[in-house]
A and B are shown apart, each in its own frame.
Chain A
Amino acid sequence: MIQIDAYKMLQTADGELPLAISLTIEKGQFVAIYGNSGAGKTTILRILSGLTDAEKVNIKVGESIWDDSEKKVHLPVQKRSIGFVFQDFALFPNLTVKENLEFALSKNDSKEIVEELIDLMELQSLQNSKPQNLSGGQKQRVALARAIVRKPEILLLDEPLSALDDDMRFKLQDYILKIHQKYQLTTLMISHSIAEIFKLSDQVIVLDKGKIIKEGTPATVFSEQKISSKFQLTGEIISITKSDVVYIVQISSGNNIVKVIATEEDAKEYRIGQKVLVASKAFNPIIQVLI
Chain B
Amino acid sequence: MNVLNGIITEIRSNEGISLVKVKSNTFTFSSIVLDTPETVNYLVKDNVVQIIFKETEVIIAKDLNLAISIQNQIPCRIASLKKGIILSQINLVIQDSDQSIQSIITTNACEQLDLKENDKVLALIKTNEVSLSAHD
**Chain A interface (Cβ within 8 Å of chain B)?**
225-230, 244-246, 261-266, 279, 281-283
Contact = CB atoms under 8 A, between A and B. Distances in A.
Contacts of B83: 245
B40 interface: yes
A226 B89 contact: no
B66 interface: no
Contacts of B54: 261
Contacts, number: 57
A281 B128 contact: yes
25 contacts: A225-B35, A225-B42, A225-B134, A226-B136, A227-B52, A227-B131, A227-B134, A228-B131, A228-B132, A229-B131, A244-B84, A244-B85, A245-B82, A245-B83, A245-B104, A246-B84, A246-B89, A261-B56, A261-B104, A263-B104, A264-B89, A281-B128, A282-B34, A283-B128, A283-B129
Contact of A227 (B55, B85, B86, B133): B133
Given A228-B33, A281-B129, A283-B128, A246 B87 contact: yes
Given A266-B1, A282-B34, A283-B32, 4 more contacts: A227-B132, A228-B33, A245-B82, A263-B55
B133 A263 contact: no
| Residue among A225, A228, A261 with the highest chain B CB neighbour number at 10 A | A228
Interface string B35-71: 1000010100000000010111000000000000000
B39 to A, nearest CB: 9
B132 A245 contact: no
A242 to B, nearest CB: 10
Contacts of A246: 84, 87, 89, 104
A245 B82 CA distance: 7
Contact of A263 (B1, B52, B134): B1
A245 B136 CA distance: 31
A268 B33 CA distance: 29
Interface in B13-48: 31-35, 40, 42
B102 A263 contact: yes
Contacts of B131: 227-229, 279, 281
B9 interface: no
Nearest to B18: A228
B35 A228 contact: yes
A246 B88 CA distance: 9
A29 to B, nearest CB: 27
B68 to A, nearest CB: 18
Contacts of A228: 31, 33-35, 40, 131-133
Contacts of B52: 227
Contact of B86 (A244, A279, A283): A244
Contacts of B35: 225, 228
A79 B103 CA distance: 65
A85 B84 CA distance: 53
Q: List 3 A-B pairs, minimum CB-CB distance, nearest first.
A: A245-B84, A244-B84, A283-B128
Contacts of B129: 281, 283
Nearest to B43: A228
Nearest to B83: A245
